[in-house]
């Protein structure tokens, strides 16, 4: 049993080392139309969206806004994770991140996920 568990764990780790993760970083301080477009695009691609913090340091306000958007976009996944911002050195938003293992590329600006992924595939370092 232990041997089988180790094999499954090794396989999972190997898969994660060879797979790409994509995420989007935003802030509620962004213009509403831009934020809405990013949420819609991320929902359509089922890509997680990260926030650095809370609206006016108020969890209730923040969760209320997230709930509003999640009602509009059922596949939307929003996480409040300041450590993710630190991990990728995100210093402005919106930002699109593609990561593989310890390598990652960041693209800043108002760009669709499809266009951003295409640009990163051609110009990025993560292969």
CATH of the domain at 98: 3.40.30.10
Q: Answer whether residue 4 is part of any domain.
A: no
Q: Answer whether residue 83 is part of any domain.
A: yes
Rounded to an integer, what is the distance from CA 107 to the centroid of its chain? 12
* Contacts with 117 (C-beta within 8 Å, 6 or more apart), sequence order: 22, 96, 98
Continuous H helices in the chain: 2-18, 32-45, 59-72, 82-87, 113-123
User: Could you read off the pLDDT of 60-110 as tens digits, one per residue?
Assistant: 999 999 999 999 999 999 999 999 999 999 999 999 999 998 899 999 999
Q: Answer whether residue 1 is part of any domain.
A: no
Q: Answer whether residue 53 is part of any domain.
A: yes
Q: Answer whether residue 42 is part of any domain.
A: yes
- Whole-prediction pTM: 0.84
Q: Answer whether residue 48 is part of any domain.
A: yes
The domain in which residue 72 lies consists of: 19-123
User: Could you read off the pLDDT of 19-66 as tens digits, one per residue?
Assistant: 889 999 999 999 999 999 999 999 999 999 999 999 999 999 999 999
Q: Answer whether residue 10 is part of any domain.
A: no
As for how many domains the chain has, the answer is: 1
């Amino acid at each position: 049993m232990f041997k089988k568990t180790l094999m499954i764990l090794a396989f999972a780790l190997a898969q994660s080392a060879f797979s790409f993760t994509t995420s989007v970083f935003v802030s509620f301080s962004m213009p509403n139309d831009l934020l809405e477009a990013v949420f819609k695009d991320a929902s359509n691609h089922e890509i997680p969206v990260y926030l650095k913090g809370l609206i006016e340091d108020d969890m209730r306000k923040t969760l209320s806004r997230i709930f509003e958007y999640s009602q509009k976009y059922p596949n939307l996944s929003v996480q409040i994770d300041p450590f993710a911002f630190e991990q990728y050195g995100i210093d402005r938003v919106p930002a699109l991140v593609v990561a593989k293992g310890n390598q990652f590329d960041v693209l800043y600006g108002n760009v669709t996920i499809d266009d951003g992924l295409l640009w990163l595939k051609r110009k990025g370092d993560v292969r």
